[in-house]
Amino acid sequence: MTSILILNGPNLNLLGTRQPDVYGKTTLADVEALCREKAKTLGLDVAFEQSNHEGALIDLIHAAKGKHAAIVLNAGAYTHTSIALMDAIASVELTVVEVHLSNIHAREEFRHRSYIAPVALGQICGFGAQGYLMALDALKAHLKA
C-alpha cells in the first residue's frame, strides 16, 4: 500500500488551544484521525510526525525517501524562513504538498513568502483541517497518474 508521511512543524502540537480564532479548535490528534479515515477510503497508508525543531524535520524528510511515496507538509513558520527545509525536500525528490490551516496570503506580509512552494507539487491553505484531506486526494490522483 502506498504510504504518505504527514509532517507537521513548530507549534502544531498546540492545535486546538493555540490561537483558535486563527487555527481553529481542531487538535493535531483530530487531524490525524481525520487523515487516517480519509487515507483508508483512498487505499493509502499514513504516518504522522511533528517536531518543533528544524533539524528534526530535515531528518524526517531525509528518512522518508524509500519509505514513503510522498509528504504532506505543514512546516508552520519554517515555511517562511527555512531554506534548509526547501533543500531537504529538493534532495529527496519526493512529491510534497504544502498545507496551512490558515490562508497565509491573507495574513501578515512575511507569511506571503513560502520557501516550500518552489519544491512542492502544490500549496493548500485556508481550509483548516480539510486542507490535509485535500492534500491526500491530490496526492492519490498525482501518484496514480
Q: Exactly one of 23, 78, 115, 132 is catalytic; name it.
A: 23
Rounded to whole angstroms, how far apart are CA atoms 137 and 121? 13
| 3-state SS, residue 41 | helix
Rounded (10°) angle between helices 54-64 and 83-92:
10
DSSP string, 50-90: E-S-HHHHHHHHHHHTTT-SEEEEE-GGGGGT-HHHHHHHH
**Cross-strand bridge partners of residue 9:** none
Residues 6+ apart with CB under 8 A from 108: none
Q: Exactly one of 68, 100, 115, 132 is catalytic; name it.
A: 100
Rounded to whole angstroms, how far apart are CA atoms 141 and 110? 32
> Is 132 a catalytic site residue?
no
Residues noted as catalytic: 23, 100
